[in-house]
Structures are given as structure tokens and as C-alpha cells.
Amino acid sequence: MKRPVFAANWKMNVGPTEARAYLKKFLPRFNRSTDRTVILIPPAISLTTVVDEIGSRRKDVLVGAQNIHTEEKGAFTGEMSAAMARDAGARAVLVGHSERRHVFGEPDAATTVKCRVAFANGLIPILCVGEKLEQREAGKTEETVLRQLRAGLAEVEPSQMAGILIAYEPVWAIGTGRNATPADAAQVHAVLRAEIATLSGSSRTAAAVPILYGGSVSDVNASALLAAENVDGLLVGGASLDPVKWSMIVST
């Protein structure tokens, strides 16, 4: 069995001072573990603080970036390149999160480049896919997530695909208190895994790729979601902002 992956997306929350206090509460509550992977994804301003607080003592807790630019460097005020994120200590990066797509207007084509440059700079891409409510109600869930998956993997070599993470996050369930049922998540995850097998040419590669569920995950429903077939972990937003609740979720 793959090790479950628990990723905490803090979004635009938790500055450096709060991040230090958070880790002082969280780390003692989460015993060192070799049977699961935990990734903390703070805002850019707190990235080095989280890296420094975790230090070399806790290799079981990785740090990720929330976003990277498609270019290596240049006149892009407010942006961060993949190389900068890696230099700051990030090991992973979110690509195509629903807020990047639907709030900031990031197109599928940007995820193509971001996954490629993430790999080129030693970062693990966490490619996010998911449908909006109107797409779900129109029966276009599979069409939507497959389009997004294909775009993100368009410039990823088949040999690299086993090193990516996929997160299915139905947009209608993010921050709404509504979440897909375990059966809903399992169904979409199965579709995604089958497509990864096709794109990589290997069912073994597809089986090795962790597919996470994200969307109103809490300490109450985490266990049921993780028990669903093809659900290999969780991408958590709001519930990860509480270090006590987060410690409960990652210990599920």
C-alpha cells in the first residue's frame, strides 16, 4: 500500500510569527512517522520560517509552495520562480489550484509549463483538478478533470509521472462545508488513475501516483474519505489552520 499523503494548504493565512507558534503546537502532537507523508504549504512570506522551524529534525514533514511562475526570472513583481522556491526549502508545489484557476484566471496551459518547470527544479508538482458546480450538474465532471489532467501532464515525461501528486478538489466543495461523498471521490479518482495509466503507458506507474481528495475535509470526515478506494490522501484547507485538528487529521 502507498503511504497516505496529507497536505495542508494554508492559503493566505498564517504569517511568520503565527507559523512559529503553529509548529510549536503541531510538531509535538505528530509523532515521527514513516508510514505517511505530511506536507505543509504556507504562503510565500512564511515559507522559510516553516522550513527553519522544522529544520533537519523532522524529515517526515515536507514543505511546499502555493504557486510558482512559469518563467525562471524577470520583471514579474510579486511572483516566485520554481528555482527560488526550491532554494527556500520547498520540496513540492501546488499547480492549478482552483483559486489560481478561477480567482486569478490561470489557464490550463499555465499548468502545463508549471508542472514541467517544477520537475526541472526538483519540486514535486501537486496538480489540482476539479469541476465547478455547474459543470457537475451538467454531467461534465469527468470531461473537466480529464482536460485539466491532460494539460498538466502534457510536457511531463512518462518516466516522471510516478513522481507527481494529483489532487481532486471539486470546486463546489471547497470552503462550503459540502464535500463529495467517499463514493464520489472514489469514482473520480478511478477515472484519473485510468487516464494516468494511458498517458504513462503503465498501470504500475498509475498505481504509484498518490491521488488526494480536497474539499471541506475535516477531522470528522477524514477517516471515511481515506477509506474510499483510490483515495491516497487529503489536501486540506481550513481545517489545517488549527494545529490540533491538523494533528488529528494526519494521525488518521
Catalytic-labelled residue, pool 97, 99, 106, 131:
97
> Can you tell me the distance from the alpha carbon of 152 to that of 190, in angstroms, rounded to the nearest whole number?
18
Measure the CA angle with vertex 125, ends 80 and 110; round to 5°.
Answer: 60
Q: What are the two backbone dihedrals, phi and then psi, of residue 209, each rounded to the nearest 5 degrees?
A: -80, 120
The label of the residue with cell 497516505 reads 4
Contacts (Cβ under 8 Å, ≥6 apart) of 172: 131, 132, 133, 136, 178, 215
106 is catalytic: no
169 is catalytic: yes
What would the grid cell of residue 179 be? 464535500
Catalytic-labelled residue, pool 53, 131, 169, 195:
169
| Secondary structure class of 202 (helix, strand, coil) | coil
Pairing mode, strands 61-65 and 92-95? parallel
| Secondary structure class of 74 (helix, strand, coil) | coil
> Can you tell me the distance from the alpha carbon of 97 to that of 67, in angstroms, rounded to the nearest whole number?
9
List residues with catalytic annotation: 97, 169
